[in-house]
Amino acid sequence: MSSPERTDETPSAIPYQALEPAQQQQRLKELAMLFLKLGAIAFGGPAAHIAMMNEEVVRRRQWMSSEKLLDLLGITNLIPGPNSTELAIHIGYERAGWRGLLIAGFCFILPAMLLVWALAAVYVRYQSVPQAAWLLYGVKPVIIAIVLQALWKLGKKAIKDLPTAIAGAAVIGWFFLGGNEILLLLLAGIGVMVVKAGQRKGNLTSGWLVPVGLMPAGLAQVPQAAAVPAVTISGLNVFLFFLKVGAVLYGSGYVLLAFLQRDLVERSQWLTSQQLLDAVAIGQITPGPVFTTATFVGYLLAGNVGAIAGTIGIFLPSFVLVLLVNPWATKLRQSVWASGFLDGVNAASLGLMAVVTWQLGTAALVDGITLLLAILSAIAVFRFKINSAWLVLAGALVGFTVQAALR
């Protein structure tokens, strides 16, 4: 073991179970304070969150080596859910077992949840006020540029070879034809996994048939006619919907938009496209996980109970999955089959992101001003790497300025 990793001889790396009760409480308190702070200041998306965790956990506190942190980050890509939140949960589990898992995850989510919850209440009360409408008018085009940047960055990692490129393109086509997004993710993962296994064995012919062969119209299509029963939206409805999403959603938080657009806007018609875009915009001006969009949507659907139900539903699978897979992290990360499945799922997630970016763009780019704002925002994020939080604030200012000029 190299010298930088010899943190096992320092008090901060003593196993949690070997500590005295007072020391255990102190460690839990340290976890809570750190992740409350990160949850309150972590603007900029998952990459920024992970960089902050590396700075605090590896460099400043030396709770673990950078190699260990990378191992934990790698395993988050093999399970559904938000990567940066799951990394926080992993760190908590490593530091203090199941108690640390709960505290680190809860404290990282809590600041964003409370802020989004408050903004949702304000939105419901004042969304018809012209000032609020014009602020969002300026923010929405910026969101398109931010999503495009995420799409580009993920695309460079997700499209690794011809099988993943075919899987991504196939998912885009089948989604437009009415394919169920959960089924598409699973089929793409299985398809690329089998293709790569066939390539390794020299059986290329059988492998190439899988991405298309696994998506017949009868499987990929879902009946659209029986999609919209007239029901009262309860907290349980909200919880079950987001529990389903949290249990199957791979990729970044932006892939969440595809699920919300298809299920809540097109199928059930519980939300409008404008409300969905507003939810994303408000999620962008807050720190912490993008998945707290579920808090906002839950409030729109079922009030305070819905905000709590949506948040618990979408994050609960992450806590359970981290608890289950953490002891097996190294073996799963080295698995050839798991790696192939992940490649396919990532390519499918990229395809879903491309579709939803197009859909949201048609709703946000409504005139010359919004088109120009989207172009300038794209230049800012791609060329100058401007933090997305500043861009969102700038978009809000543009919207307010345009509103004042037309007054």
**286-304 pLDDT tens trace:** 788 888 999 999 999 999 9
Domain boundaries, the chain: 3-108, 109-405
Confidence at 46, pLDDT banded by 50, 70, 90: confident
- More confident: 74 or 173: 173
User: pLDDT digits over 247-258, tens only?
Assistant: 988 755 667 777
- The continuous run of DSSP H or E covering 246 comes out as helix 235-248
256 near 293, Cβ under 8 Å?
Answer: yes
pLDDT the model gives residue 225: 32
pTM: 0.67
pLDDT the model gives residue 361: 84
CA-nearest of 21, 23, 87 to 50 is 87
Confidence at 178, pLDDT banded by 50, 70, 90: confident
pLDDT the model gives residue 133: 64
CA pair distance 323, 372, nearest whole angstrom: 46
State yes or no: pLDDT of 158 exceeds 60.
yes
253 near 291, Cβ under 8 Å?
Answer: yes
User: pLDDT digits over 253-274, tens only?
Assistant: 667 777 788 888 888 889 988 8
Cα-based distances in Å from 220 to 196, 212, 359, 376: 22, 11, 20, 38
Mean pLDDT on 312-331: 89
229 near 262, Cβ under 8 Å?
Answer: no
Q: How many residues comprise the chain?
A: 407
State yes or no: pLDDT of 220 exceeds 70.
no
Mean pLDDT of the chain: 80
Of 25-39, 188-202, 343-357, 358-372, the range with the highest mean pLDDT is 25-39
